[in-house]
Structure 1
Amino acid sequence: MVETLRHLGESLYASSFLFTLCHVLSFMLPTVSPFSNEWITSVVFLLGIFGLIGLSELARVKLNWTPELSRKFVHVLVGLFVLMSPFLFVSNGPPVALAIIFIVVNLVAIKSKKFEGMHATKRKSYGTVYFPLAYLILCLFWWERQITFQIALLLLTFADTAAAIVGEGVRNPESYRPWRDQKTIQGTIVMALTSALLTGLGTTLFRSLAGMEPLELQLLVPLSLFVAAMATIAEAVSDSGSDNLSIPIVTAVTYDLFFESVGNGSAAVLIMWILLSFIMAQGAFSLRVLTSDGALAAFVLGVFVFGIGGWKFMIPLAVFFVLSSLLSRIGKKSKKDQRQSFGKESERDMVQVYANGGIPLILTIWWLYNPSDIIYFAYLSSVVAATADTWATEIGFFSPYVPRNIVTFRKVDSGASGGVTFLGSVGGLLGATVIAASAWFFIQDVKVLSLVVAVGFAANVFDSILGATVQASYTCGGCSKRVEVAHHCDEPATLISGSKFINNDTVNLFCTLSGGAIILLMG
C-alpha cells in the first residue's frame, strides 16, 4: 500500500507539473491563429508533432529508453499539443485534417513497424491510432463545447498515463482482467483519483479562461467524482489500447450529462438512474445473464440511456433486457447444448451488449445534443429490431419444425444463423409489438408505432439474410460440426462460407443500425 501511495504521489506530481505547463501555455496563447492563415498554423503544428516523434526516437536510441517510456513521453507531449489547439485554431477544419493525417500515418507505421518509440509495446496495441481518432471525434462534435473538449483531453493525456505508470511500475501489482487487457488495482485507483483531480482543476481553470463564474463546490465535487468513475470504467474495460478512444468520449458525454441534469433540476433523478443501472447490471451478473465485462458495459449503457432519456428511453430498453433475459432462461439446458454447438454462450459479454445496445446508445447521445421526435423514433426502432431478433431466436428454439435457410430455403440446424421458422418469426413480431406497446405512454400514435414495428421486424429479416449470406461459418476440425466461431474445441476452425470479418455480433449490430437508419431516412 505504501508503495502504491508513493507511485501515486510521483504520478500526481508529474501530472500537476505538466498540467501547470499546459495552464501557462494556454493562458499565454492568443485565441486566434498566430499566422494569417490557419492552414499555415496547421502545417507548423504538424511539423511540431513530427518533431516530438523524432525527439522520442532519438531519446530512445541515445538514452536507452524503453519503448514503453518513449511511448508515454510522446503520448503526453502530443496531448499537450492537442490541448492547445482550441487556442490556435478558430475553426475545427485544420484540427480535423491533422487528426485524419495522423490516423493514416500511425496505421501505416504500425503495419510497417516504424517509429518504435511510439508503437513498440509489450502487447498488441492500436492506442496511437485510437488517440487521433478520439481527437477527430472531439473536433467534429465537441469543438464548440470548449470546456468539455479540454476536460476529455486532459484525462486522456494525464490520467491515463498516470494509471499506466503506476500499474507498470508498482513492485507487487494486484492484477485483474475486466475484459481483454490486464489491469492492476493500483493503476485503477490512480486513474480514478487523477481523473477526479484533473476534472476539478480543469473545470475551474477553463471556466476562468472563458470568463465564467467558478463552479460551486457542492457541484464541482460530484461532477469530478461522476466523471472520474465513468472514465475509470472506460479505462478498465479496454482492448489493445482502445481506452485512448473510450476515455475521452465517455468523459465528454458524462461531463455534458451532468450539466444537463443540473440545468434541468434533475440531478437527484440522475443519481436514481445511476443506482438503477448498477442494480440491474449487478443483478444480471449475479444471475449469470451477463459476464463481468458485460455487466460493466450494461452499467455504462444504463447510465447514459436512462440518465439522458429518462423514462421514455428507459422503459423500452428495460423491457427488452428483462423479458429477453427471462426468455433465455426458459429451456436453458437444451438451448445451452445447441448454443455450444455453434460456439455461443448463454452469458452475454460486452461485445454482445453493445452489438444490441450500441446503436440505441449512440442515438440517445445524439438526442442529448439535439432532442427531436425522429431521433426517439429511430431509437425505439433500433430497440424493436434487437428485440425482434432476440425473441425470434429464443422462441424459435421451440419450433417443432426444422429451420429453413431464409435465402435458399434448405433445412439447417436449429440455432444456425440465417435459419428461420414460422414460430420464431411470430416470436420476433411479438417482441417488436411488445416494445412498441411499452412506448405507448410517450407515443400515442398508432401509425407511428405500427411503422416502428414494421421497420424493426424488417431489420430482423435483414439480420437473417446477412446471417445466411455474409456471416462467417466454419467447420470444426475437432468435432467436425458446423460452427460460427473461428476457434472451436481448442483449435482453429476452417472457414467454409461468409466473411471472417463478419460474425454474429456484427450482424446484430447491422440489425439495430438498419432499424434506426430506416426511420431516420424516412424522416
Structure 2
Amino acid sequence: MLHLQAPVGQDLPMFFLTTGVLFAFLLLFESLVRKFSISGFLLRKVLHLTVGIFSFFIPVFFGSNFYPVLIAAIFLVFNGASYFFGLLRTLDERNPKGHGLETEPRSFGPVLYPLAFMLLALLFWDGNIWILRTSMLVMGVSDSLASLVGGSLGKNHIANMAHSRKTVEGSLTMFVSSFLLLASCLFLFRDAFQEGLEGAGALEILFFALLLSLIATAVEALFSRGFDNLLISLAVAYVLYLVTMHDSGYLAHFLFGGLFALLLAFFSVRVKFLDNSGASATFLLGTTIFGIGGLHWTVPLLTFYILSSILSKLGRKRKSRFDLVFEKGSQRDAGQVYANGGIAWIIMIAYSLTGDPAYFFAYLGTLAAVQSDTWATEIGTMWPNPRARLITTMKPVPVGTSGGVSFPGTFGAFVGALLICASALLVSVDWILDYGIFRSFLLIGFSGLLASLVDSFFGATVQAQYYDPVREKVTERTHSRRQDGSLVRNRLIKGYHFVNNDVVNTLCALCGSALAYFFSLSM
C-alpha cells in the first residue's frame, strides 16, 4: 500500500541541499547545451545515470519518505512543465535513432523518472527500502548506459522490436550492466532479505539476478519514449517484492518458470509463431504466469497459445486471400500479445498480491474470450464456401469483414472457450471442482462466446476500416503497397483511426474476464 510517512525535522536541511544540488545539475547541463552546443541527449543520459546513483543513496540521508517524495513531486511538476512549454533543452531534446542520423518523438522519460521514484518510495520505504534502492539503481544506470551505447556504437538493429530502433549492442549493455548491479545488490542486502530470499544460496542468487536482468532488458527493448524509465523500475521492484514475500521454495519455482518462458519465446521465433517483439512480450508474460501461477495457471495459457498458434498456421493457402484484409499476419507481434494476454497478465499480478480465487475464473474467462475470437476468425475463414453476416444488421458480407459472423466461426468460438475450461480440469484445479464441473463449463464457455460476439460488434461499429485504392477493397490496414514498392495511405471509411484490431481484441479479453469474474461470484 502507498504510505506517506510523517516528516522528520532533521531531514529539512538535507531536503534543501538535495533539491538545490539537483537543480544545480540541471542548470549546469542546460548551460552546456545552450553555450557550447553539447548534445542534449548525451547530457540527459549522464543526468539520468547520475540521478540513478544518487537515488540509491537518498534513503541513507533521510529518516522518512516525506521529503524524498516531496522532492520527486517537485521535479515531476517541473519536468512536466518543461516538457509542455519547452523550458529546458536538456530535458526536451529528442532522442537520436540508430546512429544519431534521425530523431524519434519526444520522450516522457524526464516526467516518468521522478514518478517512478515517488511510487517506489511510497511503496517500499517501510521495511523493504532495499527494493527501492536496487530498482532505481538498475533503471538509472543500466537504461542510460544502454541508450548511450546503442545510440553511439549500435550497428546491429533488432528487427520488429519497438517504435524506437533497438540495437543488439544496447540490449547487451542493458543485460550485462543490470546483471552486475542486481547481483551486487542482492549480495549486499542479504541481511535485509525475508522469507523467499533469506535462505538462498549464492548460485540461486546469481541465477535470480540473471533472470531479473533478462526481464529488465526485455522491458527496455519493448518500451520507448521514456516509458521504460517507469516500467523497468516497477518490474524489478515487483519481482523482488514477490519473491521476498514467499517461502524459501518459491525462488526455485520462479526461476524454473522464467526458464520455461525463455525457451518458449525462442521456440516461438524459430517456428515463426512470433516476431522479436512478440517473443519478448511472451517471455515477460510467461515468466509472470509460469513463475507465479504454477501448473494451474500455466496449462490454460499454453492451451490457448499452442492451439491458436497451430490453428493460425493451418489452412494457410485457403486463408491467403484474406492476408491483405486483416491488419496483421499469423506471426504475432508484441501488440497482439498484449491484446490477447495483457488482461490475463494483469489478473495474474492482482492474484499474486491478493490471493483471491475469483481472479482465476476471470483469468479463464479472458483466455476463453481471446481463444473464441481467434478460433472464430480462423475457422470462419478456413471453412469451405463460408457465408458471413454483419452482426449489427445480419446482412451478408464478404468473409473476413470486421464484424462478420458465421455459423462455423461461432461454433468454433464456443468449442475454443470450452477447451480452456477443459484444460483447467485436466490439472484438477480445486476452485473449478468446488464450483462444479458443469457450471464451470457453462460459465467459461458462454463468457468466451459472448465476448467474441462483443468483439464482432465492436469490429462492425468502431473498429477502423479503410478503402485500399490499389486493390479496390476494404481492409483493416492503414497503408497499401503498390507494385513499385511505394506506400499509399488508405482512406478511412468506417470507425476510428485509434481503434485497431489490437484495441478490439483487448476489449474482447476484458469483457470475457469481467463476465467470468462477476458471474462466478453470483452463481
| TM-score of Structure 1 vs Structure 2, range by shorter chain | 0.7 to 0.9
Task: Tell me how far 1:436 sits from its aligned partner.
Answer: 0.9
The residue that corresponds to 1:183 in the other structure is 166
Contact in 2 for aligned 1:143/1:149 (Cα 8 Å): yes
Which of the residues 69, 77, 88 maps onto 1:115?
88
Task: Tell me how far 1:151 sits from its aligned partner.
Answer: 1.8
The residue that corresponds to 1:13 in the other structure is none
The residue that corresponds to 1:251 in the other structure is 236
State the SS of the aligned residue for 2:493.
Answer: strand
Which of the residues 341, 363, 366 maps onto 2:350?
366
The residue that corresponds to 2:31 in the other structure is 58
User: Does the alignment pair 1:159 with 2:132?
Assistant: no
Which of the residues 110, 116, 138 maps onto 1:128?
110
State the SS of the aligned residue for 1:495.
Answer: strand
Contact in 1 for aligned 2:7/2:66 (Cα 8 Å): no
Task: Tell me how far 1:204 sits from its aligned partner.
Answer: 4.0
Distance 1:93 1:429 in 2: 55
Q: Are residues 437 and 217 of structure 1, via their aligned partners in 2, closer, same or farther at CA, if it must alter by over 3 Å?
A: same
The residue that corresponds to 2:7 in the other structure is 33
Distance 1:517 1:350 in 2: 23
Distance 1:292 1:325 in 2: 16
Structure 1, unaligned stretches of length 5 or more? Answer: 1-30
Q: Are residues 289 and 502 of structure 1, via their aligned partners in 2, closer, same or farther at CA, if it must alter by over 3 Å?
A: same
User: Does the alignment pair 1:484 with 2:496?
Assistant: no
Work out the percentage of aligned pairs sharing the same amino acid: 32
State the SS of the aligned residue for 2:471.
Answer: coil
Distance 1:415 1:93 in 2: 58
Q: What do you get for the CA RMSD once the two structures are aligned?
A: 3.4
The residue that corresponds to 2:175 in the other structure is 192
Distance 1:65 1:322 in 2: 51
Contact in 1 for aligned 2:312/2:330 (Cα 8 Å): yes
Q: Are residues 422 and 71 of structure 1, via their aligned partners in 2, closer, same or farther at CA, if it must alter by over 3 Å?
A: same
Q: How far does the alpha carbon of each residue in 1:85-105 deviate from its partner, in whole angstroms, 9 at most, with x for none?
A: 65648468983x876776676
The residue that corresponds to 1:355 in the other structure is 339
The residue that corresponds to 1:505 in the other structure is 502
Q: Are residues 214 and 309 of structure 1, via their aligned partners in 2, closer, same or farther at CA, if it must alter by over 3 Å?
A: closer
Contact in 2 for aligned 1:34/1:41 (Cα 8 Å): no
Q: How far does the alpha carbon of each residue in 1:225-247 deviate from its partner, in whole angstroms, 9 at most, with x for none?
A: 22112212222233334322332
Distance 2:467 2:172 in 1: 45
Task: Tell me how far 1:205 sits from its aligned partner.
Answer: 4.1
Task: Tell me how far 1:358 sits from its aligned partner.
Answer: 1.0
Q: Which moved more, 1:61-70 or 1:209-218?
A: 209-218
Q: How far does the alpha carbon of each residue in 1:212-235 deviate from its partner, in whole angstroms, 9 at most, with x for none?
A: 989753343222222112212222
Q: Are residues 46 and 466 of structure 1, via their aligned partners in 2, closer, same or farther at CA, if it must alter by over 3 Å?
A: farther
User: Does the alignment pair 1:458 with 2:458?
Assistant: no
User: Does the alignment pair 1:237 with 2:237?
Assistant: no
State the SS of the aligned residue for 2:397.
Answer: coil
The residue that corresponds to 2:513 in the other structure is 516
Q: Are residues 392 and 140 of structure 1, via their aligned partners in 2, closer, same or farther at CA, if it must alter by over 3 Å?
A: farther
Which of the residues 40, 45, 50 maps onto 1:67?
40
Number of aligned residue pairs: give it.
Answer: 489
TM-score of the pair, normalised by structure 2: 0.82
Contact in 2 for aligned 1:103/1:132 (Cα 8 Å): yes
State the SS of the aligned residue for 1:501.
Answer: coil
The residue that corresponds to 2:277 in the other structure is 293
Q: How far does the alpha carbon of each residue in 1:457-510 deviate from its partner, in whole angstroms, 9 at most, with x for none?
A: 222222111111111111123323211122222221111221111100011111
Structure 2, unaligned stretches of length 5 or more? Answer: 97-103, 482-486
**Where in structure 2 are the equivalents of 1:200-349 lying within 5 Å?**
200-206=183-189, 216-259=201-244, 263-349=247-333
Distance 1:167 1:127 in 2: 17
Q: Are residues 317 and 300 of structure 1, via their aligned partners in 2, closer, same or farther at CA, if it must alter by over 3 Å?
A: same
Amino acid at match of 2:461: T
Amino acid at match of 2:371: T
